[in-house]
Structure 1
Amino acid sequence: MSDDARDIRLARAYLLAVAEPPSPALAALVDDCGPVEAACRVRCGEVPDAVARETAARSGIEVTGADLASAAKSGARLIIPEDEEWPGWPLLSLRVADGRGVAGMTSPIALWGRGAARLDAVFERAVTVVGSRAASGYGEHIAGEWAYALAQGGVTVLSGAAYGIDGVAHRGALAAGGVSAAVLGCGLDAGYPAGHQTLLRRIAERGIVLSEYPNATPPARHRFLVRNRLLAALSAGTVVVEADRRSGARNTASTATALGKAVMAVPGPLTSRTSSGCHEMIRAGTATLVISADDVLEHIGRLGADLASPAERPQRGTDGLSGDALRVHEALQPRAGRPVEWIATESGVPAAKARAVLCALELDGLSQRCESGWRRGAGRGRRDTG
């Protein structure tokens, strides 16, 4: 690594530590003068008032090469926009939204990651799956099955590693031998959630675990809300499996909408509180109703290449009947036979025509001769139970 590249990496590590994300004023300064110069100005206090407000509390922090080496020993690495693997295309949505004046949509200055997978490869084809922590059995089934199917189709399943829907989605993708990715609202070494440490290690083995926050940063509610913009931005679309009317999953979906990403919601029981947020989004038209992993793939997939197959409709033996044939068939009784004249009167089809139709229906097993006339048949290939 050249001295210039090392200086840029150290500068971005410092800038990531010195301000609480998303720090729009600091990000604008970096865009204006570059990370090395921006870091120098922050240390010297020679910054605009907006940047000073974001950095004053931590401007005395020092980040050295030894800090990066220590992070590397714990399995963490700093990924910066100057790296070839930086996911610039999906994160472009943040820059566009920020340019339109949408609050809180600043692109990250850098990202801490655990896992050897390249970010550009991981997020080339990805979908975010989120939902309630207090998930129902129905929600967990949908999240796990769909994540499994999406991963089998080569799609990265991205989520927040929380209990409930998030964790099930990660496990579903890993069970399929696919790639999963997680974005945390704390440092990579925070040990949160405590019950998902093994899961996070498994995610890192095949995919990547990301955070904007340096090691030792504890979890906090506002950090999860800030994190949600990355969950929305890094994928082609967000699927909400279960969500209350006010929830982190709804926040991620709203962010995805602001970024121009696809937003999908899974319908659930009308009496289920954990599906009320999904129903509200579908009713308001802010989310597309999806009922299968194929539906999700169609919405986030390649144009014209990932189309969902039409659902198969149940077939009936009478599907091909119309006009006189349908009227005659409906006049037949399932058990009791009736003479042709009775059938003609009941159906309104002349007797001669009705007789010809009955013979044609008999060929398909839809009518049967009996001692008292004609009765309804069970259809070709089905046993007569009359």
Structure 2
Amino acid sequence: MYTVQPLQAEAATSKEMTQKKIKIDKKIKKLNKEIKDLKEKLQEKTKEYKVTQKSLKKVNESITETEKRIASRSEIIDDRLKAYQNHDSAVSPYIEAVLGSDSLTDLVSRAVSVKTIIDADQTLLSEQEDDKQKLADQKAELEETKAKLQKQFQQMQEEENALETKKAENKVKSLQLKKQIASKKEEERIAKELKEKEKEAQKLLELQNTQFISNEGNAGNGSNGGSPSDGDQSAPNVSGSQIAIEAIAEASNYLGTSYVWGGSNPSTGFDCSGLTQWAFKKAGYSLPRTAAQQYLATKKIDRSSAKAGDLVFFSYGSGVAHVGIYLGDNKMLDSQNNGVVVETLDWWNQYLVGFGRVSGVN
């Protein structure tokens, strides 16, 4: 594991130290550009997601039509079987119909009719099997597309975490040089800030390198598979501390708002941590910006102790990459692929890291 190391204070002149700081600040600027580029990529992915959602809607409509055809044919086939089973004679009704002819012409006519009925029955059965296979293929395609979309969002969230960690490390180095260049009064102020930033950068780095989910999945939490639900866009009715109620009420104002990568206020839209930060700010509490920083800033509590207004955190493998506001009753309010929604933790349990309580809440 990499650890942020203090810079050596052996530079002969402040000019040399300033040059070092300029180089580090350039790295920070480059990282900011990479983060900006990543946000632009997500915007493109969001457009692709919307197009895919339309395609998924058409597939769902097609599945509904296929299911209707299968159900309709099933009734016809069941009626045919019941009619055949209720026939008193031991002889097939088709053979009996042919044998009961009055003349050669009648015999031929009946034989042709029986063949037509038999061919129709066979066609009906063939169409039924074809539609059942089509239905299975459509459902498989639907699940595969959903899984692919979710994986793309997960990878981008992890990439953002890695970039933010590198950015935090370089900010520490820049502050270390600034400390050496500044006056004594400025040095004391920066020393305090530096200590806090070093601690935060180290914790973020350790968190980013922490593996929360094994290759076999988070077996302890269980998983229903699939992808996050569309959720509920109605405001939740919860009880709890006044601060928790205010934070949840504020977040509920934006139910149905589209997910925006990096969004942290109503004018731009929200990502997961932007929504929680905004909601608690309106309730009078300050939270850090990212899901990983919010995880470090909260007191960890057991699931059985979690109350409405606590935060719930998730990881897709390494680091904490998603956060929501717990509502109690196995539900949370969060901003995810489908926008700001209220949803159950059923699907999310496979990625669950744990619950955290904001100081002074609950």
Same fold (TM over 0.5): no
Which category of TM-score, normalised to the shorter sequence, fits these structures? under 0.3
Q: TM-score, normalised by structure 2?
A: 0.27
